[in-house]
Amino acid sequence: MMTSLLTLEKVSSAYGQSKVLWDVDMDIRQGSAVALIGRNGVGKTTLLNTMVGVQKLTGGRIMFEGKDVSAAPAHGRARAGIGYVPQGRHVFPQLTVMENLTVGLAALSGRKGLAQSGISEFIFDLFPKLTQIRARKAGLLSGGEQQQLAIGRALAGQPKLLLLDEPTEGIQPSVVKQIERALERIRVELGVTILIVEQYLDFAWSFAERYHVMQRGQIIRQGSTREETAAEIAHLVNI
């Protein structure tokens, strides 16, 4: 029996008077991997920001593990187990790699029943490069290194659900592969449920079992990546 981890019911959001999300319904099952796809400017990032509480709802509600978190602040949702790797990475440039990872531990405070505190060895096993550069300031890292750090920081909070917004955007191809393999391991070995915004449909299809397509702030289509091909959906996403 598959249970819902995150459920959105008629979620709307706006920037001032300008409405950006319209009645978005989404159901993310425990243990699944879901891809959110769509052209630039359709509202994907706004939707993720709304899920984590960075952006306010103007209508609808968000349930996480059966509890209404619509009014919960961002740090409360992080503690509830929603991890976030925002678009453009946003590591703290003046802090070292180790200090950035430590910031991720804040999501653990007040949580019960966790396996351990401190930075998990799994993160360094996943991204061995982070071990080598642990004392370096994050602002000096390459884009790929910063992305590995951003993912590592989110994992330090031991999320149940991990939201990633275009994690391979602007990253060199050799590192893209490493990040894709890391996401597979996070899913399979840690059992983390994953929602990924991804432009690269081939990866979205191999990684996720469900897809959602956004257009102008609405989910216009959703389905199974096992029953439909990326080629059938591409025209809804490509420019």
Ligand X SMILES: Nc1ncnc2c1ncn2[C@@H]1O[C@H](COP(=O)(O)OP(=O)(O)O)[C@@H](O)[C@H]1O
Part in contact with Mg ion (CB under 5 A); list of ranges 43-51, 121-129, 182-190, 224-232: 43-51
- State which of residues 45, 49, 148, 193 lies at the interface with Mg ion (CB under 5 A): 45
Residues 6+ apart with CB under 8 A from 112: none
Strands (E), 95-215: 161-165, 193-197, 210-215
- State which of residues 5, 6, 8, 20 lies at the interface with ligand X (CB under 6 A): 20
Q: Which of 98, 84, 50 is nearest to 194 (CA)?
A: 84
| 42 makes contact with ligand X (CB under 6 A) | yes
Q: Which does 158 bind (CB under 5 to 8 A by kind): Mg ion, ligand X, none?
A: none
Q: Which does 146 bind (CB under 5 to 8 A by kind): Mg ion, ligand X, none?
A: none
Looking at the Cβ atoms of 19 and 136, the one nearer to ligand X is: 19
Q: Is 67 helix (H, G, I), strand (E, B) or coil?
A: strand
Output the six-digit token pair for 208: 């996720």
Part in contact with ligand X (CB under 6 A); list of ranges 1-9, 40-48, 112-120, 142-150: 40-48
The answer to whether residues 43 and 217 touch, using CB atoms and an 8 Å cutoff, is yes
* Separation CA 47–CA 12 (nearest Å): 9
* Separation CA 36–CA 47 (nearest Å): 10
Taking the complex as a whole, the smallest distance from the CB of residue 11 to ligand X amounts, in Å, to 13
| 44 makes contact with ligand X (CB under 6 A) | yes
* Separation CA 228–CA 23 (nearest Å): 25
* Separation CA 149–CA 130 (nearest Å): 7
Subset of residues 51 to 110 that bind Mg ion, contact rule: CB under 5 A: 87
Output the six-digit token pair for 85: 């790797």
Taking the complex as a whole, the smallest distance from the CB of residue 208 to ligand X amounts, in Å, to 17
Looking at the Cβ atoms of 41 and 139, the one nearer to Mg ion is: 41
* Separation CA 211–CA 226 (nearest Å): 10
Taking the complex as a whole, the smallest distance from the CB of residue 44 to Mg ion amounts, in Å, to 5
Task: Report the residue closest to Mg ion, judged by CB.
Answer: 45
Looking at the Cβ atoms of 44 and 153, the one nearer to ligand X is: 44
Q: Contact residues for ligand X (CB under 6 A)? A: 15, 20, 38, 40-46
Q: Contact residues for Mg ion (CB under 5 A)? A: 44-45, 87
